[in-house]
Amino acid sequence: MSNELQHGDRVILLDSKKRRYLVTLKDGGEFHSHNGFVPHADIVGRRQGIVVRSTRGSEYTVLRPTLEDVVIEMPRGAQVIYPKDLAPICMLADIAPGLRVFETGVGSGALSMTMLRYGVSIVGYELREDFAARAQRNVAEFLGESALERYEVKLRNSYEGIDPADAGVGFDRVLLDLPEPWQVAPHAEKVLVPGGILVAYTPSITQAAQTREALKGKWIDARTLEVLHRGWHIEGQAVRPDHRMVAHTGFLTAARYLG
């Protein structure tokens, strides 16, 4: 990657209040806000870390976006899984380069993007064509068009089954983000390799409980957890928890398949 920012690159503009704005640099483009505008020409050809000023004198630090930035700020159709859950999901699923992953409920592609960055190949099922298209665009814009070679999204209903042709020699992991993951668990048994891992993301504990009921018999080491994210205010000797925290977003249920 070139050190100099170019047309087509995505950048984060960070203002004095730590608000982030995700911008794709374009020839003749401008970033507009209530504090005036910044011509993209002021950024192109320079390196990240520079400070640019809007026409009203507001300052923005220019940085290349992290994965966290992109997940939070990227265009979306469906609600995304947020960073506080993405990292634990990848740890629970033991995501690693070269694994073959089946993902259903692709949504806007936040989980897909995270796993692809780890080096996996994904076959994804999504019911809505607009969501599937959005997920593929988000992946391509952050990871590059070459990432789509490892990302195949199909318009299919996983409740009705998983095509053996998609599984090939078998999937190493199954990731579920949809309302009734317990309906997919029996289908996962037909395509997971022995020792493979399933992880389901569910907003409610009743969904998690029903999923756990489906993960019996050929499944072991089933567990359910939630992740709470509390930041801290640190300024000199003034140290305290933030007044607000990101508490419940979803429950993560994982289990291993014996085969």
**Average pLDDT, consecutive stretches of 10 residues, N- to C-terminus, the chain (259 residues):** 86 93 95 94 96 95 95 82 96 98 95 97 96 94 95 97 96 97 98 98 98 96 96 94 91 96
Per residue, the 3-state secondary structure of the chain, as one string, reads CCCECCCCCEEEEECCCCCEEEEECCCCCEEEECCEEEEHHHCCCCECCCEEECCCCCEEEEECCCHHHHHHHCCCCCCCCCHHHHHHHHHHCCCCCCCEEEEECCCCCHHHHHHHHHCCEEEEEECCHHHHHHHHHHHHHHHCHHHHHHEEEEECCHHHCCCHHHHCCCEEEEEECCCCHHHCHHHHHHHEEEEEEEEEEECCHHHHHHHHHHCCCCEEEEEEECCCECCEEEECCEEEECCCCECCCCEEEEEEECC
pTM assigned to the model: 0.89
CATH code that applies to domain 10-65 = 3.10.330.20
Residue ranges, CATH 3.40.50.150, the chain: 69-257
Residue ranges, CATH 3.10.330.20, the chain: 10-65
Which is the CATH superfamily of the domain at 69-257? Answer: Vaccinia Virus protein VP39 (3.40.50.150)
pLDDT of the residue at 1: 60
- The pLDDT tens digits of the residues spanning 186-239 come to 999 999 999 999 999 999 999 999 999 999 999 999 999 999 999 999 999 999
